[in-house]
Amino acid sequence: MDRRQFTKLALFASFLAPLGNTIKAAESDEQRKNLAKAASLKGHKAMMDAPGVKMVGNEKIAMLLYPGFYAPDLINPQFLFNAMMGAEVCLISPTDDLTPVECGGFSIVPTHRRSECPDKLDVLFVPGGATGTLEAMKNKPFIDFIKTKAADSKYITSVCTGSLLLGKAGLLKGKKATSHWTTLQLLQEFGAIPVKQRVVWDGNLITGGGVTAGIDFGLEVVAALRGKTYAQTIQLEAEYDPAPPYDSGSPEKADPFVRDNLKGIFAPLVENFRLAI
């Protein structure tokens, strides 16, 4: 073998070496993907075989939008509902178009027009808010829509001041219910029994407290629809393991200075809510 042949062979070998490494890496990646797929299938099968778990369903969930609602009231449970395989989660426009709905510095695009809202809902959900909720209380077509859809819904639900809208629709009479702590006692004006609790059940009525209670609320609804194990799985997926830096999340725990001043700040809004009942 002369020097020229040796050089050609060396160059050819140097070309093949990285190609061989690439093939080995691809095979290794393929093996890892197959193992990951097998683990996924095993996990899905184990969940599907677990007692009390409904892995796939076809629930129809309508979450009503209106200008000025609090986005977290809706987004927190929406994440949990959307994690249920097979469920249809509809964000319903307050009108019969798909115009984005303002919700505090940004907007959410409805997925369905009001006329497209499914019948015989598994969950009818109403979020809360502040001045937006106050205006919604004065919107008779919107309130009538809530009342109409509630008539054939399996569960009638709300978070935060959304319960005021349910009350305005005549759906709280004689029922235990909750709301944001600043508006909780207003529920009596609708004939309801106010309960200071994160989530309150009374028959097919499920109400959640202020804003963050929407996560607890959503998990309880998921458990009712799909089983406790399914709800626990979604909780872990969301890594919902609250450890707030301050223990000031309720009027009972908050510093009196914070509580009393915040109550004063909300006083005009609460009075306007009262006048709109």
109-144 pLDDT, tens digit per residue, is 999 999 999 999 999 999 999 999 999 999 999 999
Q: With contact defined as beta carbons under 8 Å apart, do 124 and 146 qualify?
A: yes
Judged against a pLDDT cut of 80, whether residue 25 lies above it is answered with no
Q: What are phi and psi of 158, to 5 degrees?
A: -160, 165
Over residues 20-40, the mean pLDDT reads: 72
How is residue 15 written in tokens?
Answer: 């070309």
pLDDT value of position 20: 52
Q: Look at residues 148, 160, 99, 97 and name the one whose alpha carbon lies nearest to residue 124.
A: 148
Mean pLDDT for all residues in the chain = 91
Element (H, E) at 231: helix 228-238
107-108 and 101-102: which strand pairing? antiparallel
pLDDT value of position 54: 84
5-14, 58-67, 186-195: least confident range: 5-14
Active site residue 160: yes
What are the chain's domains?
60-238 (3.40.50.880)
Over residues 239-257, the mean pLDDT reads: 96
Query: Residues 8-20: pLDDT tens digits?
Result: 444 444 444 554 5
pTM, whole model, 2 decimals?
0.87
pLDDT value of position 11: 42
Query: Residues 150-161: pLDDT tens digits?
Result: 999 999 999 999
Q: What angle do CA 220, 226, 228 make, to 5 degrees?
A: 55
